[in-house]
Amino acid sequence: MLIYLRVLKESFNFALNALRNNKLRTFLSLVGVTIGIFSIIAVLAAVDSLKREIEGSISGLDNSTIIVMRFNFGPTDIPRWKWQQFPDVTYDEYQYIERNTPNIEAATFTLNVPNESIKYEDRQVDNVPIGAVTDSYYNIEALKLSEGRFFNGSESNSGSMVVVLGDEIAKQLFGDAATAIGKEVRIYGRRFNVIGVLEKEGAGIFGNSKDTSVWMSVNVVRRIYGDNNKNTFPQIVVKPEKGVDEAEFKAVLTQKLRTKRGLKPDEISNFFVNQMQGFADFIDNITGTMNKIGGAISFFSLLVGGFGIANIMFVSVKERTNLIGIQKSLGAKNKFILFQFLFEAVILAVIGGLIGLFLVFIVSIIASQFTGDFEFVLSLWNILFGTAISAAIGLISGILPAISASKLDPVEAIRTGM
């Protein structure tokens, strides 16, 4: 063990001498590894950060949650022209499903409507996302309030003029006021009473943070837009009870809606029953594809880097032929010479990889500053992966030069080096 530690120490010293004595050659040899590691780790870090942000933005929804609408989360066998003609789900269908589907923990009807302005006295916030939902949405999304409450079933059904504000909206309208509860704001030209303020969440990647949204009864919005307005995008969100067989629950839910719509057995369902787990799998497929594409692009940079390391090691063997001959004449075994050059190649490659990782770290800090609350993170796994790839490139690139060095005849080596 001690002899291998000594070989490692000597190889490290040789590598440092190569860096110092042949700065330009070493720099050019390491550029490929540095760029390759930078490329692949930058892609992995970006994709991981993107995936984490997306998962964070939907973290309030359980993977068992089901969203019924006329669009599908992922690819479908139904032709595009056909599913584009599917009708939207309705409030009446939501009530039917909620009353007639067993094992439902909570269900809500939501409308996606255009952003609106919200006013309080002389203050106004424009382009505010409107969350038009029923009262059960509070339980499905696992919302948290910093003050006040969410609207109840009675207020939801009757379409009471009450509203719950996101943290940022409340601050922009009321500043450092003691409380927002009880104050009146104007939306859609109508007066709404503030009954609650959500806890601060932080911005999402798509700018859809709850901090900058307001929430009101869906029946208020239905009165304003009507039930056949193409500017709305209705959805039925259902959360099954814990422990329920999800496949069976989806089948029952599908059959209930088919019955409500009067579909015949030979007719396809003119709606989609999407599960959040399917959306998570869809995101995994996208990020996996992005990783593969980034890896394929980075492979060529790593290939160039590997050739660069191999080149510098062949040159190093040639320059140190005399020294190799002397070492072997003094009793150094072939294995000792082999490991010496392999260690040197690995060390050189790892240095290039660490430079690449450092550049990714710097770029991630700079990128995070320019993207607001979206944070690029270089994880420990990516650091270890980048280092391992660097070492592997060094090992592969250095194997042939190391073998050629270990097989040199000591007499010929000394004579050649003189």
Q: Other CB atoms closer than 10 Å to residue 6's CB: what's the count?
A: 11
Confidence tier at 412 by pLDDT (50, 70, 90)? low
**3-class DSSP state of 132:** strand
Higher pLDDT, 61 or 404: 404
Query: Tokens at residue 95, please?
Result: 């009530």
In the chain, domain spans: 2-57+284-417, 87-270
Higher confidence at residue 296 or residue 223?
Answer: 223
Instruction: Please tell me the predicted confidence (pLDDT) of residue 117.
Output: 93
Distance CA 359, CA 4 (A): 32
Confidence bin at 51 (pLDDT 50/70/90): low
Rg (Cα) of the chain, in Å, rounded? 32
Residue 204: per-residue pLDDT: 47
Average of per-residue pLDDT values in the chain: 80
pLDDT bracket for residue 284 (50, 70, 90): low
307-358 pLDDT per residue, tens: 777 877 777 777 766 776 776 676 667 777 777 777 778 887 888 888 888 8
Which of the two residues, 293 and 263, has the higher pLDDT score? Answer: 263
- Per-residue pLDDT at 346: 81
Q: Name the most confidently modeled range: 80-89, 162-171, 344-353.
A: 162-171
Q: Pick from 134, 86, 109: which is nearest to 261 by CA? A: 86
Q: What is the mean pLDDT of residues 99-103?
A: 91
Handedness of CA 109, 117, 56, 230 (dihedral sign): positive
* Residue found under tokens 């039930």: 227
Q: What is the largest CA-CA distance in the chain?
A: 100
User: Where are the extended beta strands (E) located within 31-103?
Assistant: 66-69
Give dist(CA 162, CA 144) in Å, integer: 17
pLDDT digits (tens, 9 = 90+) for 107-134: 999 998 889 999 998 889 998 989 999 9
Tell me what pLDDT residue 205 has.
39
Are residues 233 and 226 in contact, defined by beta-carbon separation less than 8 angstroms?
Answer: no
Return the percentage of the chain with pLDDT > 70, whole number: 77
Q: Does 151 score more than 90 pLDDT?
A: yes
Task: Give the pair of three-digit tokens for residue 337.
Answer: 């010479």
C-alpha span between 391 and 343 (Å, rounded): 9
**Percent of the chain surpassing pLDDT 90:** 22
Backbone phi, then psi, for 288, in 5-degree steps?
Answer: -65, -40
Phi and psi at residue 232, in whole multiples of 5°? -100, 160
Q: For 360-395, what is each residue's pLDDT tens digit? A: 888 877 776 765 555 677 778 878 888 888 888 888
Q: What SS3 state is found at 105? A: strand
Q: 167, 199 in Cβ contact below 8 A?
A: yes
> 129 with 258: CB under 8 angstroms?
no
Q: State the pLDDT at residue 94.
A: 93
- What is the distance between the alpha carbons of residues 311 and 78, in angstroms, rounded to a whole number? 55
- pLDDT tens digits, 227-280: 888 778 899 999 888 888 888 998 999 999 999 999 998 889 899 888 765 555
Query: Residue 206: what pLDDT?
Result: 38
